[in-house]
Amino acid sequence: MQTDKLREMLKQAFDESTRIYQERGFQRRIGFGKKPALVSVDLANAWTRPGNPFTCENIDEEIIPGMQRLLKACRDNGHPVVHITTAYQITDRNDPNSDMGLWHHKIPVEAVNLKDEHLWAIDSRIAPIKGEYVLMKKRASAFSGTPLAGYLRSAGVDTILVTGVTATACVRTTICDGLAEGFRTIAVKECIGDRVPGAVEWNLFDIDAKFADVEPVDACVAYLNSVKRHNTAG
């Protein structure tokens, strides 16, 4: 939980950074497109439930309820949903053939072992339904070494609403790569989490300046509902 001192420090940093960014032409808007998809990053049990090294904050009170609203809007209107998770087949750090690569030198990726399906299964409160794609990644970005970009393009998607954990790593790199792949990137404010105090606020502020539009759940749900009505009317 953040302290008042931390919030004040962040506010001061944001105020000064905003001044610099606006003077130099940053913080432009990319806007919503015509065909959205929801890309949910690592909202699996290892990240959403207590007791794992990867466990994140604000899951129960904010991220899950927001995700439930987004999922309903997507499902009601037929928008693609991609649930992304991470797990490793060979978690022996001494095995040179490990699918962990070198990442184990930095973080405890052995805590998400492919053999324990419960760890990497999507949280049951936002569980995938028939027709929703579940993608397993091995790196931080959901685009790195995966068919995600091709899948989205084949569905005609031009806009991705990105949610999940963590703001400092997997969500941020997914957003950066999403923009690089040519998608309008939208970060859903209340549906992005992390373990470290202040990490979400700082990363969303910086992402909004350079890589995506940070939008609240309310605006994203309204957009998801309006696209269906627009297409029907057209």
* Catalytic residue of the set 170, 176, 191, 220: 170
The pTM for the full model equals 0.92
Cβ distance 158 to 122 under 8 Å?
A: no
pLDDT at site 232: 44
Question: 34-233 — its CATH code?
Answer: 3.40.50.850
The pLDDT tens digits for 158-207 are 999 999 999 999 999 999 999 999 999 999 999 999 998 889 999 999 99
Q: Which are the contacts of 130, defined by CB distance < 8 A and separation ≥ 6?
A: none
Residue 15, pLDDT > 90, answer no
Q: CA–CA separation, 231 vs 218, rounded Å? A: 20
Distances from the Cα of 86 to the Cα of 21, 27, 106, 172, angstroms: 34, 31, 16, 15
How many C-beta atoms lie closer than 10 Å to residue 87's C-beta? 21
Residue 233, pLDDT > 50, answer no
Please provide the size of the chain in residues.
234
pLDDT at site 9: 78
Compare 3 and 164 and report the one with higher pLDDT.
164
Backbone angles phi, psi at 43, to 5 degrees: -90, 55
**Residue matched to tokens 């699996």:** 44
Does the active-site annotation cover 56? Answer: no
Domain residue ranges in the chain: 34-233
pLDDT at site 2: 58
* DSSP strand pairing (133-137 vs 81-86): parallel
Q: At what angle do helices 217-233 and 64-77 cross, to 10 degrees?
A: 0
Annotate 190-230 with DSSP letters as a single string: EEEE-SSTTHHHHHHHHHHHHT-EEE-HHHHHHHHHHHHHH
The pLDDT tens digits for 71-129 are 999 999 999 999 999 999 999 989 999 999 999 999 999 999 999 999 999 999 999 99
